[in-house]
A and B are shown apart, each in its own frame.
Chain A
């Protein structure tokens, strides 16, 4: 099976979707002729023409707002916000319009759009190239929120998102674009070509939204993670020797609660890990759900490892990014609790 980077897998997902359905259109800043600042749309304009893949003005609200209008017309726009950090001007359109169009019109109009945005830190991106704003989307009724962690899932989830009849926020951890990353920034990066999840089948397949994947089976503690933190958690388990079960959530909303609950009931312990800031982050929702659904199976408090409650700094990158040492400590403490 061919191996692809996450960038290639994402591009392939759009290619497959555009080939299969002429209603799929792709646009955003630098997305057309140039093929995107991360090369995720490279070649699509040449292959499908400027009507299907084109450059947009630098106006996030305009990109999402026009996509909503296109969706109301009957197209299936898959648009890009260059960095998740720059989605805020589009937040009104995403939360008040895209999320609610079906509901408020009782199905008279719908909004089958996908909004792709590179997310996450670990790249010396500083304050506005590193944010993880997923909690700002999972809090919004009517949106679906997806965070893939590998090329195979990225392609399957993106095709599923494009085919989904409702608006999907598709957060792409840019730290994972070229290879998995476990937080050991001092070691050379392994490319996806050397990783089994870099195997990406040609043609059409989907990874269903709302289904988690168990990346490492274990019995001692459940780790709930997504995006880059999946690899950090794996490294932490290996380095501490703790038999952790690592659940890659893949879709944050709708959430695969069944898989989470089954795992925590088995292990009796749980650590939640994300890059985003701690307070009111998505981890709080996960902890609450575990507490509500697994209380009598828990043998200790549910721990959270997250970004600190500060803006994402530049020089202090590795003091901020929750690396394997911090996650490992949380695993150890949870077992000792």
Chain B
């Protein structure tokens, strides 16, 4: 036993730090089309390998290949491209608005657009997402008005949440988007509870839980998996592995072993791993998992392998902890470019039309922004009333709050 004797403490480190050359040689990536597509009622024990592979549809040449291809029409793919481009443009404008002091805070989705945009199209009306702060694509792809999102970001007089919430913590029951909380992972078990309630009520609706790689370390991730497994809850358990939790690389949450998908296996939950930058693959896998849930076959855990190309938030500078060019080296590329190339290859899109679409989308986002700003921004123009601060905590305002509202002079 060579190691007997003094113990040594192990702290995982990413392969490369600022100044180094990005290296993803350790990331094993299955070829597009190489992972089979089992029936939804497959015995989970048979597909354990899928938790360690990566389901991919789009190959390097931009072709859709393999058993997970062919689910979406050209029109649906063009719509998907538009959603991702809209989210990216929205992000860029709001990031800029934050820099201009129009709001206090923003978080971008750069590089992760396919995950939430494609997932939304796999759900049915009435299904409920329990998102984190990085799934606004669920709203964009469901037609939620951008102006309303911006009103929330600006905390202005038209903010549907009355200025009570930090920017981007949206809520829309109507659009199947559960109220976002700042506390990580709490929504994961809540999603399972929502799904349990749907089953208790003999409903046909399902829930989708969302979490990032870092937050899988929170205890509510474990709670959710236990409950989902025990009660066979109709829920899709999504893990968005973008490699980074603020400054900590995913190895800090993962301990350098297994995959996030593999966490499901110990609970008897079938687990799939998917190329998160492949719109077609995300949609196909989401649809498979949603069908399983809807068919009373229980939960599925899905790990989306992607890369957080932007800063963690408007308060973060990634160059302090990772190489600046790391996102360019990411082997799964850019979801927008990959879908664009696929559509060009299909002959239904072109570079010219793409440029034109970019300009149109920018115009639409700017128009929405102007409209939102007419209702005020964080420090200028209309804002929610001080009275709104006291309202809505309880269904009926208790006496002590009425007294405090009076003291505040409102």
Contacts and interface: CB of A to CB of B under 8 A. Distances in A.
Interface of A: 25, 51-52, 56-57, 59, 61-62, 65-70, 72-75, 77, 89, 92-93, 96-97, 100-110, 141-142, 144, 164-166, 210, 253-255, 257
A25 B201 CA distance: 11
Contact of A59 (B165, B172, B226): B226
28 contacts: A25-B200, A57-B226, A59-B222, A62-B223, A65-B193, A65-B223, A66-B189, A68-B190, A68-B193, A69-B194, A69-B207, A70-B196, A72-B190, A73-B194, A73-B197, A75-B197, A75-B200, A93-B220, A102-B392, A104-B165, A106-B162, A106-B171, A107-B392, A108-B160, A142-B394, A144-B394, A166-B394, A257-B400
Nearest to A89: B219
Contacts of A103: 164, 392-393
A70 B398 contact: no
A66 B171 contact: no
B347 interface: no
A74 B128 CA distance: 12
Nearest to B195: A69
Nearest to B209: A69
A104 B128 CA distance: 18
B115 interface: no
Contacts of A56: 227
Contacts of A210: 398-399
A61 B219 contact: yes
Nearest to A59: B223
A254 B195 CA distance: 32
B171 A74 contact: no
A51 B128 CA distance: 21
Candidate in B165, B179, B227, B392 with the most chain A CB atoms within 10 angstroms: B179
A296 to B, nearest CB: 19
B133 interface: no
A97 B183 contact: yes
Contact of B183 (A96, A102, A164): A96
A69 B190 contact: yes
Interface in B143-166: 160-162, 164-165
A108 B173 contact: yes
Contacts of B378: none
B182 to A, nearest CB: 8
Contacts of A67: 193
B272 interface: no
Nearest to B229: A57
Contacts of A75: 197, 200-201
Interface in B236-262: none
Contacts of A257: 399-400
A92 B183 contact: yes
Contact of B172 (A25, A52, A74, A108): A108
Contacts of B220: 61-62, 65, 92-93
B41 to A, nearest CB: 23
A201 B220 CA distance: 41
Contacts of B222: 59
A255 B392 CA distance: 19
A17 B96 CA distance: 53
For the complex of A and B, list the 4 residue pairs with the smallest distance between their C-beta atoms, beginning with the closest.
A69-B193, A66-B193, A65-B189, A62-B223
A70 B197 contact: yes
Contacts of A101: 179
Contacts of B224: 62, 65
Interface in B109-154: 128, 130
Nearest to B163: A106
B327 interface: no
A253 B195 CA distance: 31
A187 B394 CA distance: 44
Given A61-B223, A66-B193, A72-B190, 14 more contacts: A66-B190, A68-B190, A69-B195, A74-B197, A89-B219, A92-B186, A97-B183, A102-B394, A103-B393, A108-B171, A142-B393, A210-B399, A253-B400, A255-B399
A120 B178 CA distance: 36
A288 to B, nearest CB: 12
A93 B197 contact: no
B173 A104 contact: no
A70 B194 contact: yes
Nearest to A257: B399
A165 B395 contact: yes
A290 B188 CA distance: 43
Contacts of B207: 69
Given A69-B194, A72-B178, A109-B173, A62 B226 contact: yes
A165 B397 CA distance: 12
A268 B214 CA distance: 57
Contact of A66 (B164, B165, B172, B192): B192
Candidate in A25, A59, A61, A106 with the most chain B CB atoms within 10 angstroms: A106
A245 B195 CA distance: 50
Candidate in A61, A102, A164 with the most chain B CB atoms within 10 angstroms: A61
Contacts of B393: 102-103, 141-142
Contacts of A109: 171, 173, 178-179
